[in-house]
Amino acid sequence: MGAFAHTTFIPLFWWYGYPFLAALNIASATAWTASWKLSRQKRRNFAVNLIAIEASLHATLATIITGQESAFQFYLIPLSCLVLICPDIDRWKAGLLGVIGMALFLSLSAPPSHGWFATTSRIPEAVAIINMGISVATMAGFAIIIRSMYEAQERNLTWMASRDTLTGLYNRRFTSDYLQQLAERQKRSPFSCCLALIDIDHFKTINDHYGHDAGDTCLVELAQTLTGHFRTSDIVCRWGGEEFVLVFPDASVQQIVPAINVYRQRLHQHPVVHGTLRIPVTLSAGVTALVPGEDFDTAINRADHLLYRAKAAGRDRVFSEPACDDGGLTVGEERIPRRHAGA
């Protein structure tokens, strides 16, 4: 963009009788092109230094030769800001260059007390307006870029604080806060909600037999398929290790258990692929309701107890406890009395 702007000024300066400035603009356009190439080569420090030198020299000479009324000195303002926000320049150096640039702008804008500046300018007044407009637009562009960078950094920090690094799922901290919010909402206005604690069966054996990379692949694969299998409103979380917590707002245990069993059967038919390996994976789950007025830790502990029973009963199965008066226990879709749950 800078090279294009300087190129458009070449015929303007030539037409109004400033051949030296026309030739200077050719050199400036070349400098901007070289800066663009340096930036593409990841040599941004050199690129910024080159632009800073070119723009400072060009703005100073153009202001002296054509007069203050041409407003070429205003380009020093966005240039100083560019140097200040450039992350590739040391902070002290950027601060020094920024101060020098602003000081140069003030000296070129102050009422002339010497004969350095041209007393009359052959440059049309419209060019001065254009110069000031470009400077203001560039400053606005910098402000937009800085805001976009800040918002992107904020989103990235929020993502890192709420997500598991390996799987990209929500992490335990986020899910605990979410469950706390659901519990508070249920106190004000009761609604159906349940959660499931899922654990990969014999995960240590998978790691020992196939390697930890294969174990990570299993975790990532389950994270992706769990997310795709359930509703977008459901929360899928890596609770820790090979354990996952799934939160199902506005759903009952009776609705969720069949869905988890469908997913469990799907794992039987689709082993996890890791390179040339096909790793059979099964899971056990404990499903329970989040009862209005109950602390979410109680529900988690109940789901953990149900998961333990599923493991003890032979793994690859779902145990659930709906919030009902008789306190029945469900294995898959079959209800059995509590006193026989450990059989």
Nearest one of 174, 195, 218 to 306, comparing CA atoms: 195
For residues 250 and 247, give the distance between their C-alpha atoms in angstroms, rounded to a whole number: 10
List of residues 6+ apart from 235 with CB closer than 8 A? 170, 175, 178, 245, 246, 247, 249
Catalytic residue among 54, 221, 242, 321: 242
Element (H, E) at 52: helix 44-66
Whether 323 contacts 209, CB under 8 Å: no
Catalytic (active site) residue 154: no
Length of the chain in terms of residues written: 343
Buried b (16+ CB within 10 A) or exposed e, 157-193: eeeeebbbeebebbbeebbbebbeebbeebeeeeebb
Report which of 31, 118, 100, 104 is spatially closest to residue 74, judged by C-alpha positions. Answer: 104
CA distances from 240 to 22, 172, 208, 228, 232 (A): 67, 7, 19, 20, 22
Q: What is the largest CA-CA distance in the chain?
A: 104
The answer to whether 340 and 321 have CB atoms below 8 angstroms apart is: no
Please state, as a whole number, how many other Cβ atoms lie within 10 Å of the Cβ of residue 25: 24
C-beta separation of 247 from 191 below 8 A = no
- State the CB neighbour count (10 A cutoff) for residue 273: 12
- The catalytic residue positions are 242
